[in-house]
Amino acid sequence: MSLKQLFRQPMLRAMLGRQHIQALRSMTTQSDKVLVDLDPKTGVAVVQMNRPPVNSLNLEFLSDINNTLDKLHNDKSCRGLILTSSNNKVFCAGLDIMEMYQPQTDRLTEFWKTLQNVWMNLYGSRLATIAAINGHSPAGGCLLATCCDYRIMVQNFTIGLNETQLGIIPPFWFVDSMEGVVGYRQTELACQKGLMMTTDQASKIGLVDEVVTPEVVLQKAQNEMVSWLKIPDYARQLTKSQMKMPNINKLRARRDEDVQHFVNFITKDSVQQALGFYIENLKKKAKK
């Protein structure tokens, strides 16, 4: 029996009700790289990144994340989003470095535009967003976390914008996202030195709001979400938008320039060489 036929079964409809069928339907039309569980009672969607081995963000995965965000934004029953990972050691390893190493210009351009879209969509989301950071979260992973309204992180992992360690530069909107969370001075220290912080260090500077054990991270995120959803949506959303729109507008105004800058920078011989060394070291470390 196809899923379409299954959803039409009167027994199932009677047992679950219309709302739940709709939620099930939207769950099953998602990609297998982004798992969505939208609870029709609370309006909270748990979104799990699921691209083994480390949730690195390639073009297709970014598109899937974007489509998921669009779907949830268009679903009036959805009010909150918890972003987490199906891998309990890595929240997200950041951008897929292979997208930037020896790239085709067209794909590299598309890749960067899609990342810009994900950032604008998540940073400016109408939903209350909580990152349940259940593993390491370097660079682009840290970016996703700082797009959210609240961060709960499992102890003994690392997080940060480590781009300079790879010989690349965190774009201004990565920096703006972090600055919005920890302020100018801590961002300056963290970004220039490419610091990967332990959960405790991140907590000290306010990069994460709570440090928890792995067993409770999702429950803590759900509990925190309850308090966010007690606030009337329009008041919370307008307050959020008032604070986030200046950064979104800044990227909107410089989008094409930012793409061009990225493509020019990444395709430089010196940057390709630095990325090559970094990948070699990652592979050596993975083999050990």
Ligand X SMILES: CC/C=C\CCC/C=C/C(=O)SCCNC(=O)CCNC(=O)[C@H](O)C(C)(C)COP(=O)(O)OP(=O)(O)OC[C@H]1O[C@@H](n2cnc3c(N)ncnc32)[C@H](O)[C@@H]1OP(=O)(O)O
Q: Which residues bind ligand X (CB under 6 A)?
A: 53-54, 56, 89-90, 93-98, 136, 138-140, 162-163, 166, 168-169, 171, 261-262, 265-266, 282-283, 285-286
Place of tokens 């972003």: 83
Taking the least distance from each CB to ligand X, the nearer of 78 and 139 is: 139
* Options 141, 144, 163, 194, the catalytic residue: 163
Taking the least distance from each CB to ligand X, the nearer of 26 and 158 is: 158
Taking the least distance from each CB to ligand X, the nearer of 21 and 54 is: 54
Taking the least distance from each CB to ligand X, the nearer of 43 and 138 is: 138
Q: How far is the CB of 174 from ligand X (least distance, A)?
A: 7
Q: How far is the CB of 233 from ligand X (least distance, A)?
A: 32
* Options 66, 121, 162, 247, the catalytic residue: 162
The closest residue (CB) to ligand X is: 94
* Residue 140: active-site member: yes
Q: How far is the CB of 171 from ligand X (least distance, A)?
A: 5
* Residue 162: active-site member: yes
Taking the least distance from each CB to ligand X, the nearer of 30 and 158 is: 158
Burial class (CB in 10 A: 0-12, 13-18, 19+), 227: exposed
Q: How far is the CB of 239 from ligand X (least distance, A)?
A: 29
Q: How far is the CB of 160 from ligand X (least distance, A)?
A: 10
* Options 95, 108, 122, 143, the catalytic residue: 95
CA distance to 4, 50, 71, 236, 263, per residue, from 29 (Å): 11, 15, 10, 30, 33
Taking the least distance from each CB to ligand X, the nearer of 99 and 224 is: 99
Q: How far is the CB of 269 from ligand X (least distance, A)?
A: 15
* Residue 163: active-site member: yes
3-class secondary structure per residue, the chain: CCHHHHHHCHHHHHHHHHHHHHHHHHHHCCCCCEEEEEECCCCEEEEEECCCCCCCECHHHHHHHHHHHHHHHHCCCCCEEEEEECCCCECCCCECHHHHCCCCHHHHHHHHHHHHHHHHHHHCCCCEEEEEECCEEECHHHHHHHHCCEEEEECCCEEECCHHHHCCCCCHHHHHHHHHHHCHHHHHHHHHCCCCEEHHHHHHCCCCCEEECHHHHHHHHHHHHHHHHCCCHHHHHHHHHHHHHHHHHHHHHCHHHHHHHHHHHHCCHHHHHHHHHHHHHHHHHHHC
Active site members: 95, 140, 162-163
